[in-house]
Structure 1
Amino acid sequence: MPSQAAPAPDGSTRVRNDQWHLRYLRTQEAQRISQGQGVVVAVPDTGVDTHPDLRNNLLAGADMIPGGNGDGRQDGNSHGTCMAGIIAAHGRGSIGALGIAPQAKILPVYDTPSNGLGEPDDLARSIEYAVRNGADVISVSAAGSPTAAMQQAISAALNADVVIVAAAGNAPRDSGVSYPASVEGVIAVGGVDTNGGHAAVSVTGPELDVVAPAVDIYCPSLNGRYRVSTGTSDATAIVAGAAALVRAKYPDLPASEVVHRLTATAVDKGPPGRDDEYGYGVIDLVAALTADVPPLPPDWATASPPPNNTPATTVAAEPAGGGSDDNSTARGLATLGVIVAAAGGYLLWRRRRDADDPPPRISR
């Protein structure tokens, strides 16, 4: 039966129903357990607009490059606003966009101009700023070069017990898992489509950890409006939101155990155990919050790998139908992946290959 609410010109009435990924991930059930309260998620990106569905959760951040208003709360591209909204939009009652963790706070850091091409060292400074200013999770939707500054920033964030999530990369532009998703200790996020299968836009590779919806993701945009986006950036923002839910539910859990929960409870897809298309499987919000997950052993960093992925105790819901692309935003936007990394690394035993040489600039 169609909704009786009058349609709003900004799309806020219909967008909640268009957010198919919320139903697929059983977000409503998960949010009865945790909504990310008390958790700060840093979003180094193109800035974050003060969208009505997001502004109550938007902290004052910082600008790493000229052109912003000084606190990260300005976006000329819409990519950063979309990512922040996927993570922590609170909506307006039953209308507007809803994020995975609607009580988490967003720390916006402007480090990429509106053309979507930034400098790796600006991203490095963003990560350092996020760590200094209390970020519990860092969500980076970018691919770039492993400069000395970037390597130092990632290492410092991991050592500071911050969860970092990074997008694996988008095909055909990327041929393999990109930096910094390819770094040990960073969760590399790929994507699935509206049917729960491998998303064509998502790269594959031995570095991949988990997957999440990455196709036709509706999210806040500029001037109070909305966009539909496709890419591993979107999947990464979802996983960053999942990390916020877990950190709120288990505030004393170290980052390595947060990551362990997310990977151990993922719903296995493809061949049994970890594979290059799905990693350990599709993120399962409810299982990550409720499953009895044994802790990592004291010598986990050097332990032998388990023969298969730990099975989830719950099963992800079937997709409720994909959101239709109304051409309101660029499906082909150079979005990439958010970073959720775990301090100290995770699953150091897994096999990796050297990443392909990344582009000299970060791209979103």
Structure 2
Amino acid sequence: MSFTRTLRAVGSVAAAGALLFTAAPTASADYIRDGQWALDAFNPQKVWKESTGKNVTVAVIDSGVNGDHVDLKGNVLPGKSFADGGGTADHESGDDHGTAMAALIAGHGHGARHADGIMGLAPDAKILPIKRNESIGGDANNVDGPIRYAVDHGAKVINMSFAGPYALTDKEKSAISYAVKKDVLLVAGSGNDGTSKPSYPAAAPGVLAVGAVAEDGNVLGESNYGPHIRLIAPGEKIYSAGTSMKYRQATGTSDSTAYVSAAAALVRSKYPDLTAGQVANRLTKTAITPDGKTGISSPDPKYGYGVIRPYRALSEKIPAGSKNGPLTMPKDSEPSAGAGADAPAGEAPGSASEGKSSGLSPIAVAGIALGVVVVLGIVVGVVLANKKRRNGPPPGGTGFGGPGSGAGVPPQHQFGYYQQPGNPGAYPPAPPTQPPGQ
């Protein structure tokens, strides 16, 4: 049975045969490569004609990476371990999680024409492995040191395929702000509890939060959700590289996060002048929701702006948009006008490509002043003409806060769909239990 799949949209659009992805046929006899249904769904041959991630470094903050793996060798930098007494993080032989994420991002396969093994979505990107201290106590998330190290050592994308309930410390918030100010895109998984309870670092301002989509095109049942979610990507039955075992298969938002980081690396490689937020803007503007919508202006709590479509993100003509794009910014980051700029945590920003003028020209100011004088004259005239009708209603209008201002929109409409209380909608139950990818 072929592992090549298509992901079909759900709802009414699915009846019309709409597709989230179009899977390209595989030409390999290697069962691991044939099992990479998610990679095939992205139509990688078309993607790689646009970008392969060259000249972009992706930091993988995780459990360390086996840089000697046949599908990764040559693409992994030494990095740093913040556990086990320090040292590099490129010779991991125990926990295979970080190796798996690195392979989904920058695996290059092996054998003739690299046709066997794991191929990453950005095979020419470099991996900067950073092993975090996962012990509980002190800084529970333990991301402040790793984030700063990644920024200071050339990473343009930081992949964080882990999630926890621990609120970030001030040092960790400061590290995220540091990365934002240095124009580094932080990508993190939402978690695998199937709950709306926020997990960190994904729920932190400044981070691009990622959920998972199943092989059938529905949002993965165990994928955490909430107003901070911006994108989803394949996260079910994902083959990847390992350590003690050469390959593994897993399900979870870890894998979907790695795919989004890889897509970001592709965009950063082709469009090096775009800011991190503008890279995210390209990804969100070209995403497609499970019910077939594209270009939505506010993210849905289950699927954000939709599933990534790397080829479209690389090839479509899209305005750069505001500096921060769809990202919610930390309070102490540099202010920027436009969508997502300085929005409070949990508040859905506007369109990913919206922008606002940063100031007014002297001519515009003069025009406004003249207009004010004219209006005042009209008001005085009206008052004198109607001085005997002091008890009458004042002139009406649709000024700021009036009709059409958008105030009072029910929360359930702020994310692009209406969900009745007590009705979870069209999202599927959790699939059969698989080893968690996170």
Q: Cα offset for 1:118?
A: 9.9
Does residue 134 of the first structure (1) align with residue 154 of the second (2)? yes
Unaligned runs of 5+ in 2: 3-28, 323-335, 355-430
Paired letter, 2:162: A
Q: Cα offset for 1:103?
A: 0.3
Does residue 187 of the first structure (1) align with residue 290 of the second (2)? no
Normalised by the size of structure 2, how large is the TM-score?
0.65
Contact 2:177 2:206 in 1 (8 A): no
Name the structure 2 match of 1:64.
Answer: 82
**Cα distance change of structure 1 residues 72 and 150 upon mapping to structure 2, 3 Å threshold:** farther
Contact 2:99 2:243 in 1 (8 A): yes
Unaligned runs of 5+ in 1: 3-11, 311-324, 337-364
- Residues 12-59 of structure 1: CA deviation (Å, up to 9, x unaligned): 931000000011122221112100000000001110012110111000
- Residues 59-81 of structure 1: CA deviation (Å, up to 9, x unaligned): 01011012565344314110000
Q: Distance between the aligned counterparts of 1:28 and 1:287, measured in 2?
A: 13
Q: Distance between the aligned counterparts of 1:120 and 1:131, measured in 2?
A: 21
Contact 1:38 1:104 in 2 (8 A): yes
Q: Cα offset for 1:223?
A: 4.4
Match of 1:204, SS state, is coil
Q: Cα offset for 1:276?
A: 1.4
Contact 2:284 2:352 in 1 (8 A): no
Aligned residue pairs, count: 308
Q: Distance between the aligned counterparts of 1:100 and 1:270, measured in 2?
A: 25
Contact 2:217 2:290 in 1 (8 A): no
Name the structure 1 match of 2:33.
Answer: 16
Contact 2:281 2:352 in 1 (8 A): no
Name the structure 2 match of 1:159.
Answer: 181
- Residues 68-106 of structure 1: CA deviation (Å, up to 9, x unaligned): 653443141100000111111010111010001000000
Does residue 38 of the first structure (1) align with residue 55 of the second (2)? yes
Q: Cα offset for 1:121?
A: 5.8
Q: For residues 245-284 of structure 1, what are the structure 2 equivalents within 5 Å?
A: 245-270=266-291, 273=296, 274-284=299-309
Q: For residues 210-359 of structure 1, what are the structure 2 equivalents within 5 Å?
A: 210-223=231-244, 225-270=246-291, 273=296, 274-297=299-322, 299-300=337-338, 301=341, 306=350, 331-333=434-436, 335-336=437-438
**Cα distance change of structure 1 residues 223 and 255 upon mapping to structure 2, 3 Å threshold:** same
Contact 1:77 1:116 in 2 (8 A): no
Q: Distance between the aligned counterparts of 1:225 and 1:118, measured in 2?
A: 34
Name the structure 2 match of 1:90.
Answer: 108
**Cα distance change of structure 1 residues 194 and 159 upon mapping to structure 2, 3 Å threshold:** same
Name the structure 1 match of 2:422.
Answer: none
- Residues 236-263 of structure 1: CA deviation (Å, up to 9, x unaligned): 0000000000000111111111111111
Contact 2:188 2:201 in 1 (8 A): yes
Q: For residues 169-180 of structure 1, what are the structure 2 equivalents within 5 Å?
A: 169-172=191-194, 175-180=196-201
Contact 1:46 1:116 in 2 (8 A): no
Paired letter, 1:79: H
Q: Cα offset for 1:142?
A: 1.6
1:76 to 90, 94, 103: 94
Name the structure 2 match of 1:199.
Answer: 220
Q: Cα offset for 1:177?
A: 3.5
Q: Distance between the aligned counterparts of 1:223 and 1:13, measured in 2?
A: 20
Contact 1:177 1:208 in 2 (8 A): no
Contact 1:169 1:202 in 2 (8 A): yes
Name the structure 1 match of 2:24.
Answer: none
Q: Distance between the aligned counterparts of 2:91 and 2:316, measured in 1?
A: 37
Contact 1:88 1:102 in 2 (8 A): yes
Contact 2:281 2:353 in 1 (8 A): no
Match of 1:83, SS state, is helix
Over the matched positions of the two proteins, sequence identity in percent amounts to 41
2:121 to 100, 105, 110: 100
Q: Distance between the aligned counterparts of 1:67 and 1:236, measured in 2?
A: 28
Aligned CA-pair RMSD: 3.0
Q: Cα offset for 1:271?
A: 8.3
**Cα distance change of structure 1 residues 81 and 26 upon mapping to structure 2, 3 Å threshold:** same
Normalised by the size of structure 1, how large is the TM-score?
0.77
- Residues 206-230 of structure 1: CA deviation (Å, up to 9, x unaligned): 1110100010000000146100011
Segments of 4+ moved more than 4 angstroms: 115-119, 302-310
Contact 1:22 1:28 in 2 (8 A): no
Q: Distance between the aligned counterparts of 1:64 and 1:183, measured in 2?
A: 22
Match of 1:150, SS state, is helix
Q: Distance between the aligned counterparts of 1:137 and 1:307, measured in 2?
A: 23
Match of 2:240, SS state, is strand
**Cα distance change of structure 1 residues 196 and 67 upon mapping to structure 2, 3 Å threshold:** farther
Name the structure 2 match of 1:143.
Answer: 163
Q: Which has the larger radius of gyration?
A: 2
Contact 2:210 2:257 in 1 (8 A): yes
